[in-house]
Amino acid sequence: MSSDFVHLHVHTQYSLLDGACRVEDLVNKAADLGMKALGMTDHGNMFGAVHFYQAAKKAGIKPIIGCEAYVAQGSRLEKNSDQRSISHLLLLAKDNQGYANLIKLVSAGYLDGFYYKPRMDKELLSQYAKGLICTSACLKGEVSNFLLKGNYNLALKSADELSQIFGKDNFYIELMDHGLREQKKVNEGLIKIAQELSLKTVATNDVHYLNQ
């Protein structure tokens, strides 16, 4: 039995103090379920990229390397109490250039943007967007967060801005359903935004654990 579904939003042991999936166990479980590919999107880092790539290849799984990035509300270079608020954004490398750009983004997040978290900003994302697929991420994504606050227009503006940075073919509205009331509310807005801006949607499961 094989599955066409691919987990693209996945946190491994390298999402420190957050992800509980050990890499070998994770890829072997995906292989046992007949999955052909698997993503790795740890919080703010790519520390496990080589480990994950080698383990996935060994298990016969196509590795998709990414990162759930922390994005500053303004400039990543501003470091004051007003800048502690950050949003999440899911980035996936679709080719070698995307992988190289993802390395540059994550490195800059630590070297230039670190303030409590390794932060990118939209200026940096615009500079290194080529070869990357981007999704609107979880409830902590900027688009979803605006919807949670009841501000549809700002959510729409944010989605439009991201689609311009990455291109409509490479930006997806991400939908999750873990039975949370907030997700049900946000998903209605996300679907409306996707329709209004002619954007594609992708269903994910924000994986932090190997088993229920």
User: What is d(CA 134, CA 96) in angstroms, rounded to the nearest whole number?
Assistant: 16
User: What tens digit of pLDDT does each residue of 64-85 get?
Assistant: 999 999 999 999 999 988 778 8
If phi over 0 gives left and psi between -120 and 50 gives alpha, with beta otherwise, what is residue 161? alpha
Helix, strand, coil fractions of the chain, as percent rounded to 5: 40, 25, 35
Question: Where residue 2 falls among pLDDT bands split at 50, 70, 90?
Answer: low
155 Cβ contact list (under 8 Å, min separation 6) = 143, 144, 146, 147, 189, 193
pLDDT tens digits for 151-178? 999 999 999 999 999 999 999 999 999 9
Q: Does residue 142 carry a pLDDT above 60? A: yes
Taking CB atoms within 8 Å and a gap of at least 24, the contacts of 122-129 are 122/71, 122/161, 122/165, 123/75, 123/76, 124/76, 125/71, 125/89, 125/165, 125/166, 126/165, 128/101, 128/102, 128/104, 129/101, 129/165, 129/166, 129/167, 129/170
Max Cα separation, the chain?
53
Global confidence as pTM:
0.96
Dist CA 11 CA 81 (whole Å) = 28
